[in-house]
Amino acid sequence: MTISIDDLRAKLAGTALPGGELVLEEYESAIADAAFRAEDDAGGFAHPAWFIIASLRGMGISVDELCALAEQEPGDTLLFGNCEVEQFRPLTPGTRYRTYAEITDVGSRTTRDGSRLDHLTVSVTVSHPAADAGRVTSVYLFKRATEAA
Amino acid sequence: MTPRPGDELPVHTVSLVNADHMKIVALLLRDSNPIHFDPDAVRRAGLGDRLVNQGGATMAYVMNLLIAWAGSRAAIRRISCSFRGNVLAGDDVVVSGRVTEVEETPDGSLVTAEVWADVVGGRRAVLGEATVLLAGNPA
């Protein structure tokens, strides 16, 4: 049975995730540029989409583990709802970053087809010893296959 | 020249979204969702027979437009995107935007724009808002 939204909120809202480290390797930066179809002169900076990579690799848990925290059940569908990147200073290849992650919000709504759509908002701050480089706020959606009791 | 609200951003086309790139991005993201690398998983999910691009990769195409327009990867200050529809392997994607606000600062023009990515002949995949600093336009 799907967990109620009140129980899910009580369980997860405000939960700090382990966070971790991201070493932005130069070869990965070059490969990412090709995969993201970047054609610019990088100017010594990593592609800003690396913040998205950092937000997934830097939670300190996998997406599968995030799904488990959200009590995803067979038939529930995970969707990437929204992503906000704030770039305070660009990331640079060859640099080691620290990441801090937290589930900042848990909510739910009913879709037009009557499905229950829960959301988890995860904030990841990407930090260098000198200063924060940026922050990513991602909204993960869980379309539930069954109604809550 | 300083942009004004209502000005259109350039239109940029990403031709033939590449399935191999999706597999690379899955590795970079540590994204285990098989709809990005396993056609059988796509079929089982009822999503057709073409691999599904990562939303973050489609968002990167929008970033590419902003970088080309503003002249630097450092120019992007904020970008927020909602993911409205799937981009599939082999799709052509058009990205563009429209200026909504311009704030003059000592460092240049801080420009906010509505941005989007559309599959050619089909659906809107991404809709969002971005703020970039045009450093060549000091107040």
Query: What tens digit of pLDDT does each residue of A92-146 get?
Result: 999 999 999 999 999 999 988 888 999 999 999 999 988 999 999 999 999 888 6
Q: What is the pLDDT of residue B95?
A: 98
Nearest-Cα distance to chain B for A113, in Å, is 16
Residue spans per domain, chain B? 12-134
CA atoms within 13 A on the CB side of A85: 28
Secondary structure element (H or E) that encloses residue A55, with its range: helix A50-57
Residue B36's SS3 state is helix
A133 within 8 A of A91, measured Cβ to Cβ: yes
Question: Model pTM greater than 0.90?
Answer: yes
B57 within 8 A of B91, measured Cβ to Cβ: no
Contact B44/A at CB under 8 A: no
Q: What is the CA radius of gyration of chain A?
A: 17
Nearest-Cα distance to chain B for A61, in Å, is 11
- Select the CATH number that applies to the domain covering B12-134 from these four: 3.40.50.1370, 3.10.129.10, 3.40.50.12280, 3.30.70.270: 3.10.129.10
Residue in B with minimal Cα distance to A75: B45
What stretches in chain B show pLDDT beneath 70? 137-139
Test A49 with B60 for CB contact under 8 angstroms: yes
Q: What is the pLDDT of residue A42?
A: 82
Nearest-Cα distance to chain B for A5, in Å, is 23
Confidence grade of residue A77 (pLDDT, cut at 50, 70, 90): confident
Phi, psi of A114 (to 5 degrees): 90, 0
Which has the minimum average pLDDT: A76-80, A83-87, A142-146, B28-32? A142-146
d(CA A104, CA A114): 26
Tokens standing for A38? 């970047």
Q: Give the full edge-to-edge strand order of the sheet including B124-134.
A: A16-24, A95-110, A116-128, A131-143, A77-87, B76-83, B124-134, B108-119, B93-105, B12-14
CATH 3.40.50.1980 fits A5-143, yes or no: no
Instruction: Tally Cβ neighbours within 10 Å of residue A107.
Output: 14
Tokens standing for B126? 């991404």
Q: Rounded mean pLDDT of chain A?
A: 92
Residue in A with minimal Cα distance to B60: A49
Tokens standing for B86? 């799937």
Residue spans per domain, chain A? 5-143
∠ Cα A76 A140 B28 (to 5°): 105
